[in-house]
A and B are shown apart, each in its own frame.
Chain A
């Protein structure tokens, strides 16, 4: 389940407490649909609250805490940093 293009980070690579924004959600239509409904849309800022390096992670996104299994976390590609901006017209 390694990222296809080198250099692209997934949620699993982010350190505990790290901030990032969503670049892409990989996976099937149903999975991406569920993630989108939970707020995992492109550009959405998030903070990783827990990542023990194996096992599930906890993400803070749009004011909600979401637990993702390891496999799911690896499908969320991110760009680290505070620059998340899902409101381009702001």
Chain B
């Protein structure tokens, strides 16, 4: 990352914090559109870096902000925690801004306590002070600052309060204008001697950037990474350390207790709380939201509302855009290009405009979906959804945390696969990834939303629900099957924070929905356009007639397979083209059935399939192999072509099997005359 000219030295600031403290909001406010999203070197965890520009006494300055992965502590309990601390130690940022949740200050200070042992100055951003005030938790930043010896900046990032002050404090600490003299927590008295012994044993042996005291502490805490590092550095001397560690296996608790005692003293001085036993708003809401019966009903109701809104608000907007923007543009192009060779008009009007238009018309549905999802997340509801789903997820060998990525899958399978990173157990994560493609994404639902009414008329709404049910039923069966046959293992641990409810910030939610939508369109847009052009080319070349095109030949080759499902080659081609992007099904059908002459898709398709064949087609479409972007994500996250290929083949078999079963079942029941 190069700094803009005129700024001699761009400082680097690491942004750290536990999950659910509003760190992402702070990062977005600081870096805006300058964000660069990549991966941590060699890891699958997302790394976000951005530049923050600010003014110091009228001069324009910049700092590079590195968003560290959310972590509860800095012991190598998880990959996130290890990455966060390795970054601090190896990269030595100029400062760390630790974001804390004022409403649950104790656990936030636990992470801060760990940072105080590292050789980088820390500023505490006391976020969510508004939520704390709502719950009558009052914190004195000045007392906190004095007790910690660390600058403290009260913030309310969702209201854009305190962010400028945070930057100023970080800047002043880096420039040495603010004193930085942290008070560090001491280990509990009964383990002080042991810590000294270990320190003496490793004296002079810790590799360069690692502070000795910190290494000793981490060894005592049972940190496997640090132990491996020191074992390699201390041939001959390690056995003595190992002996002490084995003797004090419980030391981790002593270290943690020492930190919490230290935190307890500080919190008692700086925080006043409501009397215990008071029923908070969160308690009242959770009587319903986490109730085993009402909670499930609420969740189902909310899911229903999400889809209702997506259909009622998103879909009509999509149609409007399609009719007034895309079709109009295509018509205008055809008119303007009168006299041009057939392939020029076709490429531009049918390939590029239709494909590009698809990307545009997809926007409203995604915005509505991500908007509602973001709202539920921001309010604090998503953790409740995971909680009430936990017992059901256990039935298919998963736990509540797997529910969130699977739920995300309703929007798009790509973020769902990426979202499985919140699952800490590798086996549960793999199982969840393999199941994600069975969650019908918004694109597949959009295809059903468009095609079901054309084929099935008024029954379309109910058929849509049946199709979703079919997908989820197959998902449950596959989950149990994989669990029993392939991915056996012991039960997984389900440990999850349940954040306090708070009023959502519509601006934050809106910006997040917009960014997620754009990100998806950026990733998928190119593929959709390329496939649209490719499908047009395959359907027009070599002679300009679709009946003699390459695509027709391919589809006709597969015709016997289609006949089992009551589908002709055009339907098969539409399915195949959905591999690049699910919504291509409609684009392909539009091209294949319209073949250049105006007229509506509905008119051309209606009556082309019997109801049973239509049902078979929609079922295959819903269960079919994931789109190319999802396959890429699965490969990236599983780091295995074998699992990726197995997943794709399995889904191909399941979907075609379901299609054949539905059509043949229809014949058998006498619903389908042959």
Contacts and interface: CB of A to CB of B under 8 A. Distances in A.
Chains A and B come from one and the same complex: yes
Contacts of B282: 65
B264 A87 contact: yes
A42 B253 contact: yes
A42 B290 CA distance: 28
User: What are the 10 tightest A-B residue pairs by CB atom distance, in nearest-first order?
Assistant: A69-B494, A36-B256, A37-B73, A65-B498, A55-B391, A62-B106, A64-B104, A41-B257, A37-B72, A56-B390
Contacts of A68: 494-495
B585 interface: no
Nearest to B223: A33
Interface string B278-319: 000011001000101000000000000000000000000000
Contact of A37 (B77, B386, B500): B77
Interface in A51-90: 52, 54-56, 58, 62-69, 71-72, 86-87, 89
A6 interface: no
A63 B279 CA distance: 14
A68 to B, nearest CB: 6
A49 B75 CA distance: 29
Contact of A56 (B137, B221, B387): B387
B400 A58 contact: no
Interface in B244-262: 249, 252-253, 256-257, 260-261
Nearest to A59: B498
Contact of A64 (B107, B264, B399, B400): B107
B493 A31 contact: yes
18 contacts: A27-B493, A31-B493, A33-B77, A34-B77, A41-B253, A41-B257, A58-B387, A62-B260, A63-B103, A63-B273, A65-B499, A67-B387, A67-B497, A69-B492, A69-B494, A72-B493, A87-B265, A89-B261
A69 B107 contact: no
B73 A56 contact: no
B115 interface: no
- The size class of the interface chain A forms with chain B is 35 or more
Contacts of B399: 69
A4 interface: no
Interface string B196-221: 00000000000000000000000001
Contacts of B496: 66-67
A89 B268 CA distance: 14
B475 interface: no
Contacts of B253: 25, 32, 36, 41-42
Contacts, number: 124
B468 to A, nearest CB: 25
A43 B494 contact: no
A52 to B, nearest CB: 5
Contact of A66 (B222, B386, B390, B498): B498
Nearest to B490: A71
B369 interface: no
Interface of A: 25, 27, 29-39, 41-44, 49-50, 52, 54-56, 58, 62-69, 71-72, 86-87, 89
B359 interface: no
Interface string B98-117: 00000111110010000000
The binding surface of chain A is classed by DSSP as: mixed
B221 to A, nearest CB: 7
A67 B252 contact: no
B494 A72 contact: yes
Contacts of A52: 292
Contacts of A62: 104, 106-107, 260
Given A66-B495, A67-B498, A33 B222 contact: yes
B107 A39 contact: yes
Contacts of A56: 387, 390-391, 400, 494
Contact of A71 (B78, B387, B493): B493
Contacts of A49: 283, 286
Q: Which of B72, B106, B498 neighbours the largest number of chain A CB atoms within 10 Å of its CB?
A: B498
B18 to A, nearest CB: 9
Contacts of A87: 261, 264-265
B383 interface: yes
B106 A64 contact: yes
Contacts of A44: 260
Contacts of B400: 56, 67, 69
